């Protein structure tokens, strides 16, 4: 997984720098227009952070009891007069009803905290709309990513980034200071044209997870169908045996490791493809195709989904002996052996296969857990680049090799047993080995000194066929310049 991806803050752009002069912000009076859920939570947090709060409501008498006693609840116009910074905790649809306040609001900072119900719902952002209604005010977009609940839970909920944008630097700075005093981390998102982007943030549903999730679901569906045909449909058609009871646990449990293993290999495959492309073109400056770029960026999510499937596989496997079907089968086998008077059923090879198979499986799961934990931003940030790349790249590759051993010991000689080819379909594990074995082979090739050296040079900026200037002394002693290829 790319370290850059992990080290990246939740939101791009630089954090607004902490300023030693921020403390005076506490103690100033902040206005809040509206008395709903957000306004109430905001007022509580502002009061707890040392601000004086004045709330502007259309019906202050009725709403006053909902606010902490330290906050003053009054009519909208009264509240606006008492402060220069006003949070507009009102829905966009009701902005126009505030137009009567235009005169008292003139010259003040309005903080637009509103959200929409759909991405890019309106042509212009809510903040730009508010600015157009109140041209004499300075509008700052911010705090919309914070929920009323987060505001109330206060510092216990940990730090949270608050993206802020405005066309006025001074106003943006003032709001950033307030956010800092409240325990948030303001993130400068630039000018007002970013408001739309900020308003879309709370509406996005796990954007980075879409492709990896579809990939995992697609793989699950393919392997599930394949296993269903082999384990349930085949005995039903060829021997009229009813094995449908296997669907909820056994078929799922043979599908999950396939998905986990293939997904893990898909974390390392784009790296191999990228290296092949760099070796082929002899440069690292050629852009990868978009699909490869996208793939590289989604490695963290693909890896985490692989871990998720592997963990489920472990739990399913532990529960296998608990099933009633398993108990019946066990008794049936025991009875059969008693009838056949078989005393010694110990098969040394099978015992060893199982011991190794389980042991390497546990190690692989342990390594995958380590990869998953270190991909969490808080842990990743505590590692330096070398530590991070050692865990994600080296240990990750070792996890792939150990998973391959787990798969091979599980399959053992079944690939060479023609009874295992149900409807001429090879055992599932042989299919899953395809991509990981290609990756392991490619990694072995990349570690050959001649290939490794070339790759290292390319990654340090060397380019095939690049022409460099050289300077030669002429017979007369003067210097003449020319060009030659550096590809020697
Ligand atoms: P809410 O509970 O419905 O409160 C909205 C408030 O707007 C009302 O209490 C009302 O206060 C005031 N208001 C002023 N003019 C109004 C009018 N003409 N018609 C109706 N109400 C009017 O909504 P909310 O959840 O607090 O959300 C307020 C804003 O914060 C929204 O823009 C929302 O997108 C944003 N926001 C909310 C959350 C959240 O977690 N709730 C999170 C982020 C952002 P008075 O009756 O006292 O005037």
Report the CATH number that the domain containing residue 44 is assigned in CATH.
3.40.50.720
Do 229 and 186 lie in a common domain? no
Do 37 and 165 lie in a common domain? yes
In this structure, are strands 467-473 and 479-485 parallel, antiparallel, or unpaired?
antiparallel
Identify whether 262 is part of a domain. yes
Do 48 and 182 lie in a common domain? yes
Question: What's the chain's average pLDDT?
Answer: 89
Identify whether 475 is part of a domain. no
Do 102 and 162 lie in a common domain? yes
Structure token digits, residue 88: 């507009």
Do 279 and 193 lie in a common domain? no
Do 267 and 349 lie in a common domain? yes
pTM: 0.76
User: Which amino acid residue places its CA nearest to atom 17 of ligand 1?
Assistant: 94
Q: How many residues does the chain have?
A: 488
pLDDT tens for residues 22-42?
A: 445 667 999 999 999 999 999
Residue 89 CB less than 6 A away from ligand 1 = yes
User: Which amino acid residue places its CA nearest to atom 20 of ligand 1?
Assistant: 94
Do 197 and 232 lie in a common domain? no
Neighbour-count burial for 84-97, b at 16+ CB within 10 Å, e otherwise: ebbbbbbebeebee
Cβ atoms of residues 349 and 413 within 8 Å: no
pLDDT tens for residues 124-161?
A: 999 999 999 999 999 999 999 999 998 987 656 555 89
Residue 58 CB less than 6 A away from ligand 1 = yes
Distance separating alpha carbons of residues 262 and 438, to the nearest angstrom: 12
Do 138 and 260 lie in a common domain? no
Distances (CA, A) of 425 to 227, 229, 367, 455: 10, 9, 32, 40
Domain of residue 95 covers: 29-203
Residue 367 CB less than 6 A away from ligand 1 = no
User: Residue 109 Cα, ligand 1 centroid: separation in angstroms?
Assistant: 18
User: Which amino acid residue places its CA nearest to atom 46 of ligand 1?
Assistant: 58
Do 189 and 291 lie in a common domain? no
Residue 113 has what pLDDT?
A: 98
Alpha helices (H) along 83-233: 102-105, 126-133, 148-153, 169-181, 195-200, 210-228
With H, G, I as helix, E, B as strand and everything else as coil, classify residue 68. Answer: coil
Structure token digits, residue 126: 């809510």
- Nearest ligand 1 atom to the CA of 98 is 15
How many folded domains does the chain comprise?
2
pLDDT tens for residues 66-124?
A: 999 999 999 999 999 999 999 999 999 999 999 999 999 999 999 999 999 999 889 99
Do 327 and 310 lie in a common domain? yes
Q: How many Cα atoms sit within 13 Å of 101 on the Cβ side?
A: 24
Distance separating alpha carbons of residues 185 and 176, to the nearest angstrom: 8
pLDDT tens for residues 264-306?
A: 999 999 999 999 999 999 999 999 999 999 999 999 999 999 9
- Nearest ligand 1 atom to the CA of 116 is 34
Do 212 and 192 lie in a common domain? no
Identify whether 2 is part of a domain. no
Identify whether 306 is part of a domain. yes
Cβ atoms of residues 311 and 373 within 8 Å: no
Do 108 and 196 lie in a common domain? yes
Identify whether 198 is part of a domain. yes
Identify whether 180 is part of a domain. yes
Which one is predicted more confidently, 125 or 342? 125
């Amino acid at each position: 997984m790319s370290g850059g991806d992990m080290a990246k803050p939740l939101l791009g752009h630089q954090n607004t720098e902490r300023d030693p002069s921020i403390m005076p912000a506490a103690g100033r009076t902040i206005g809040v227009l509206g008395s709903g859920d957000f306004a109430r939570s905001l007022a509580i947090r502002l009061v707890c952070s040392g601000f004086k709060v004045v709330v502007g409501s259309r019906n202050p008498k009725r709403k006053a009891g909902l606010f902490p006693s330290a906050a003053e609840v009054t009519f909208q116009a009264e509240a606006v007069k008492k402060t220069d910074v006003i949070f507009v905790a009102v829905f966009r649809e009701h902005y126009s009803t505030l137009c009567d306040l235009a005169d008292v609001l003139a010259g003040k900072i309005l903080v637009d905290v509103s959200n929409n119900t759909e991405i890019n719902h309106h042509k212009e952002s809510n903040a730009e709309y508010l600015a157009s209604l109140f041209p004499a005010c300075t509008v700052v977009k911010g705090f919309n990513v914070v929920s009323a609940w987060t505001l109330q839970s206060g510092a216990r909920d940990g730090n949270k980034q608050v993206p802020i944008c405005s066309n006025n630097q001074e106003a943006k700075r003032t709001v950033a200071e307030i956010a800092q005093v409240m325990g948030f981390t303001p993130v400068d998102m630039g000018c007002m044209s970013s408001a739309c982007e900020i308003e879309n943030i709370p509406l996005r549903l796990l954007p980075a997870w879409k492709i990896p999730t579809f990939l995992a679901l697609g793989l699950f569906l393919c392997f599930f169908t394949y296993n269903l045909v082999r384990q349930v449909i085949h005995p039903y058609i060829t021997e009229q045996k009813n094995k449908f009871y296997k669907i909820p646990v056994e078929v799922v449990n043979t599908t999950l490791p396939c998905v986990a293993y293939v997904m893990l290999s898909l974390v390392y495959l784009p790296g191999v493809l990228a290296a092949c492309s760099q070796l082929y073109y002899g440069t690292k400056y050629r852009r990868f195709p978009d699909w490869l770029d996208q793939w590289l960026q989604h490695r963290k999510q693909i890896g985490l989904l692989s871990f998720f499937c592997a963990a489920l596989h472990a739990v399913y496997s532990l529960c296998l002996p608990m099933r009633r079907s398993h108990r019946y089968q066990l008794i049936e086998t025991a009875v059969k052996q008693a009838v056949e008077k078989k005393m010694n059923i110990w098969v040394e090879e099978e015992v060893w296969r199982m011991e190794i198979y389980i042991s390497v499986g546990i190690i692989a799961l342990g390594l995958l857990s380590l990869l998953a934990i270190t991909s969490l931003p808080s842990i990743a940030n505590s590692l330096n680049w070398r530590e991070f790349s050692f865990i994600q790249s080296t240990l990750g590759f070792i996890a792939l090799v150990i998973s391959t051993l787990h798969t091979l010991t599980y399959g053992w000689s079944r690939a060479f047993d023609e009874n295992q080819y149900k409807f001429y379909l090879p055992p599932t594990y042989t299919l899953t080995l395809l991509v990981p074995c290609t990756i392991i082979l490619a990694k072995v090739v990349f570690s050959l000194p001649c290939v490794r050296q070339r790759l290292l040079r390319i990654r340090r900026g060397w380019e095939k066929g690049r022409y460099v200037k050289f300077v030669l002394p002429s017979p007369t002693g003067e210097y003449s310049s020319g060009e030659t290829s550096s590809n020697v």
